[in-house]
Every structure is written in C-alpha cells, then in structure tokens.
Amino acid sequence: MTEKLTPARVRFAPSPTGFLHLGGLRTALFDWLYARHTGGQFILRIEDTDQKRYNPDSVEFLMRGLRWLGLDWDEGPDIGGPYAPYVQSERKPIYRQYAEQLVASGHAYKCYTPVEEWEEASPEEAEAEPVAGSRKPYDRRDRFVPAEQQAALEAQGRPYAIRFAAPLDGTTTVDDLLRGEITWKNNTLVDAVLLKTDGMPTYHLAMVVDDYLMKITHVLRGEEWLPSSPIHKLLFDAFGWPMPQMVHLPVILNPNGKGKMSKRKQVVDGKEYLALVHEFIEAGYLPEAVFNFLTNVGWNFDAEREVFTKEEAIARFELRDITPKPAALPYAKLEWLNGVYIRNLSPNELHLRLTPVLSKQLGIDEETLRHSEQLSELAPLIQERIKLLTEAAQFVDWAFVPAEAIQPEPKLLIDKKLNVEQTLAVLTAGIEVLMQTETFNVKTLEVAFRTQAEKMGIKVGPFLTSFRVAITGKTISPPLFESMVVLGRDETILRLRNAMKILQAYALQTV
C-alpha cells in the first residue's frame, strides 16, 4: 500500500551556544530524513535569542557538522529562503509586533518588575523552564495592576517586558506523535516572559512565531523540551494558529545507561566516549558510519540489517516508528560500522579521505599527500587493518620520512630464532637479492626472498623479520614486499644498509 505523502516542512533550530553534540545532530538527522522522505523542506534556523550564552563560532561549527553528515538544508541563514531571515536576532521587530498583539488581545501583559528578580535559574533551566521548577515562580504582580496604576506606569515611559497571561485554571493538552496526548494543569504554569525588556524575544515566543510564519508542519526536538510544550500550545491557541505536530525525541543516555548524555566527552573505565561532532570528525570517523549509526538511535532501519544507505533510510523513515524510550549510544557498534565503511571505500576514495587526516598527523601538506603515489599504493594495503582514519598513520608514517629517521632498536631487528651474525648475513643477502632482481615488483621479490631463505636454511618468517623492521622501524607493518615496492629499490637498500650499521654497532657493544 503506498500512502500519499504530504511534503513536510521541518526545521532544525539550534541555539548557537557551543559545539554541536551528537544529540543535536541526531535531531537534525531525523528532521532531514523526514523532510526528504516526504519530499518536503529541511530548514535551518538559528535561535540566538539568549545573547548571554551566544558563541559566535558555533554557527560555523553547526553548519560544518551538518554538511559533514550530508544534511543539506533548503532554507537557512547562509542561503536564505522565502521566510528569511533565518536568524532570530535579525527578526526582533517581528516578535515585538506579535507580543504587542497578544497584549492587545488580553493574552499577555506588560511587566515592569525587572525580570531578573525572578529568573535566577541557570541559563539552561531558564531556557527550558516555563513550568514551576527550582526557581521562585513569578507571582504575577504586574498582571493584576489596576488600570490607573497601569496608565501611570505607561505615561512614565518605563521599560517593560511582556509576559504571557497563562490561564489560571483548566488544563492544556498537547498531542505528541510518539507519546499521545499529554495534559497539564494550567495552575502549574508560570506567566512566561515572551519579550524581554531589551526587546529580545524569549525562546517561547520566537519559536511559536517562527514555526507559524515559516509554515513548519512538524517539530522534532529533544524530550527535554516537553515541559515547555503546554506554554507553546497556549501561545499557538492565543494567536489562533494551529500547532505543528509535536514529536519529542527520546533523550540519549550516558554510556552507562544513566542520565542524559553529557555534552562533553567522558572517560568511563578508561575508555573515552566522545560527545561533540567535531571530536568524531577528528577521531577519524566517516560520515557514512555516523549517519548509519545515529539513524538507528531511537529509530530502527531493520532488525536484520545493520548497514544501509542514505537513500534506503530516507525511503523507510517514518516518524511513528521512532521509539520514545531513551537509549544509550552503542559506541562499540559505531567503531565496527566505521571499519565496515572504510573497507567499502574504493582505494581512491580512501586515499582522499586519509589525506587531511594524515596531513595533520604527519605534518605533510595536503596537496602533496593528495598526489602521493606512495599513499595511493599504501591505502589499499591498510584498508583491512583500520577502524578509524586516524589509525592509518601508525601503519604508513615510515613511508614519508627519510631513511635516517628509521632508527629501530637493534633487538627488534633480530628475530628470536636468529642471532646478530645470522641477521647481518640475512640482510647482506637481502641487499644482494634486491640489487639483482630485474623487475622490482611484489611477485618477483617474494620468489627471490623465499629462494634465498631456503638457500640459507632459514624459515621464511624469521628470515623476513629484519627486513620489515629495517624499512618501517616496526614489527607490525603493511605486507613487506608491497612496502618495499612503495619505497622503491634505492630507498629500500638504503634502509637495509642503515639497519646493518645499527646491528654492527650493537654487535661491537655486546662482545
């Protein structure tokens, strides 16, 4: 049965107060999936009305995070759109006009008592808390001021805030798509500030006005906003506007399953759990893996299938399948998925993805690495071995340093089954082989080295140890003959000679 879909208008409305964390990114992802699923629009709106918490860099970080994950927006601060501007601080006159409209209709009132006296909560609480909570609820002293006193105050031209006149009795019901109808007693609500004395709207007013003006059909936001929703419903009602369909997404829990996920990275039992989007980028995660992973946090593509494409997720994504139950992030799965996606990249693509990461780690400029033949040969050799892009450096760094930089411990050069003299003999023979091999490729090198090992009566494994360490400085490396080919004949021989010098010095010391 194919259902005809109404194109949805869905917004991601972050407050630019800091870095984007995974919870925010998950909200944006679900917004985007639903917009794309219905053939509608995904809108980016910046909710910067809390100037005290404003962080100027964070808009750039937000956009970078969304772009990295491939969440393209159809309307937003940088590209505009039919309902521009998309930054709330640039829409101040609009909010004043609507706040005054509510005063005129009796749904709001002017408040001359300084707001600060009543709103001493932490910024987070102040933003999230329209309901009686930890702070002293405002006692509505300005709401019932007699008319003459009101007129006198106005005549003085005193600055004022505008507060919502919440109904004093009765109930308010909000319909949440995942949780059904939720009812609040109105006598538990406070008279929320709508417009501050400085003319800046609060989140409540700005959100309601913008969701209406921007024709938002579905509001997806974190569960922590649920307590604000009766105020929002009352505001929509007061304006005579329909409320968009509310969808409060389940909170994401800390790795130990307790409490809302922290907005900072955490260390639990010695393991690091990242929280911010740029940390995941820096740690070497692929956007495909994070996309796949986050899509399955609170929603499930298919119990049988762990790996899927964006297009497949878009086709299947239904809001009603989101579970309202909070869940912790399965970090181990993300790492596994990342390995899967790394293995699925074409070698060329892996080369490209590794370029910026290695550039930072190895201190080589990106341009050089992008055109590096060595990297293009190495990329497929390490593809099976890494789960994070940042793990590549330890396997390839040796290829990008001069021979003198490879200074292995002499003991590492000597295989457990051999002594110094034998190792020196092996290396001498190896250099000879390398000089004589006509075609310098993996196949011929392999045959030549095996033959040489046999001739000397040494098993291949121990025979090759010193070569591996001599050219990479490590006991674990990409496949040996491939590595020799990456370096080329001259450089390989140079490294083997250096290793011999190290061994000779060591032999002298130990006699």
Out of 10, 13, 192, 329, the residue judged to bind ligand GLU by CB under 6 A: 13
Sheet of 193-195: strands edge to edge? Answer: 108-111, 161-164, 193-195
- Window contacting ligand GLU (CB under 6 A); options: 218-226, 235-243, 304-312, 359-367: 218-226
DSSP 335: H
Q: Which two tokens stand for residue 458?
A: 């040494």
Q: Write each residue from 222 to 251 as x if it is in contact with ligand GLU (CB under 6 A), else as -, in one continuous string.
A: ---x--------------------------
The percent of the chain in helix, strand and coil, each rounded to the nearest 5, is: 50, 10, 35
Q: Which is nearer to ligand GLU, 47 or 142 (CB)?
A: 47
Integer Cα distance of 281 and 285 in angstroms: 6
- Window contacting ligand GLU (CB under 6 A); options: 13-21, 182-190, 285-293, 426-434: 13-21
Q: Which is nearer to ligand GLU, 15 or 217 (CB)?
A: 15
Helix boundaries (H) for 383-459 = 393-396, 410-413, 420-436, 442-455
CB of 406 to ligand GLU, least distance (A): 51
- Window contacting ligand GLU (CB under 6 A); options: 217-225, 239-247, 277-285, 422-430: 217-225
85 upstream amide cis, omega within 30 of 0: yes
Question: Side-chain half-sphere of 363: how many Cα atoms within 13 Å?
Answer: 1
Length reported for the chain: 511
Q: Which is nearer to ligand GLU, 203 or 449 (CB)?
A: 203
Q: Which is nearer to ligand GLU, 28 or 503 (CB)?
A: 28
Out of 10, 15, 358, 483, the residue judged to bind ligand GLU by CB under 6 A: 15
- Window contacting ligand GLU (CB under 6 A); options: 9-17, 257-265, 296-304, 390-398: 9-17
- Window contacting ligand GLU (CB under 6 A); options: 10-18, 275-283, 308-316, 328-336: 10-18
CB of 207 to ligand GLU, least distance (A): 5
Non-local CB neighbours of 321 within 8 Å, separated by 6+ positions: 299, 300
Of residues 343, 345, 358, the one with CA closest to residue 398: 358
Q: Which is nearer to ligand GLU, 11 or 110 (CB)?
A: 11
Out of 163, 196, 221, 468, the residue judged to bind ligand GLU by CB under 6 A: 221
CB of 28 to ligand GLU, least distance (A): 10
Does residue 16 touch ligand GLU according to CB under 6 A?
Answer: no
CB of 84 to ligand GLU, least distance (A): 18
CB atoms within 10 A of CB 212: 18
- CA 395 distance to own-chain centroid: 26
Binding to ligand GLU (CB under 6 A) within 327-356 occurs at none
Q: Write each residue from 177 to 216 as x if it is in contact with ligand GLU (CB under 6 A), else as -, in one continuous string.
A: ------------------------------x---------
Q: Which is nearer to ligand GLU, 15 or 372 (CB)?
A: 15
Helix boundaries (H) for 142-276 = 147-155, 203-213, 229-239
Binding to ligand GLU (CB under 6 A) within 359-398 occurs at none
CB of 41 to ligand GLU, least distance (A): 16
Judged by DSSP in three states, 194 sits in: strand
Q: Which is nearer to ligand GLU, 193 or 445 (CB)?
A: 193
Out of 22, 41, 47, 500, the residue judged to bind ligand GLU by CB under 6 A: 47
Q: Which is nearer to ligand GLU, 14 or 287 (CB)?
A: 14
CB of 232 to ligand GLU, least distance (A): 8
> What residue has token string 């790996």?
307
Integer Cα distance of 45 and 279 in angstroms: 23
Integer Cα distance of 179 and 184 in angstroms: 14
Q: Which is nearer to ligand GLU, 118 or 203 (CB)?
A: 203
- In Å, how far are 32, 230, 238, 247 from 184, measured between CA atoms? 30, 7, 17, 17
The answer to whether the CB of 64 falls within 8 A of the CB of 58 is no
CB of 300 to ligand GLU, least distance (A): 23
Binding to ligand GLU (CB under 6 A) within 270-289 occurs at none
Does residue 217 touch ligand GLU according to CB under 6 A?
Answer: no
DSSP 400: G
Integer Cα distance of 284 and 338 in angstroms: 9
CB of 265 to ligand GLU, least distance (A): 20
The answer to whether the CB of 377 falls within 8 A of the CB of 478 is no
Query: Contacts with ligand GLU: how many residues (CB under 6 A)?
Result: 8
Task: Report the DSSP beta bridge partners of residue 76.
Answer: 80
Q: In which element (H, E) is residue 381 found?
A: helix 373-382
Q: At 233, which amino acid appears?
A: K
Q: Which is nearer to ligand GLU, 87 or 219 (CB)?
A: 219
CB of 208 to ligand GLU, least distance (A): 10
CB of 47 to ligand GLU, least distance (A): 4
Judged by DSSP in three states, 79 sits in: coil
Non-local CB neighbours of 366 within 8 Å, separated by 6+ positions: 355, 356, 359
Sheet of 41-44: strands edge to edge? Answer: 41-44, 9-12, 218-222, 245-249, 171-176, 180-185
Does residue 14 touch ligand GLU according to CB under 6 A?
Answer: yes
Name the residues annotated as catalytic. 263
Chain residues in the site for ligand GLU (CB under 6 A): 13-15, 47, 207, 219, 221, 225
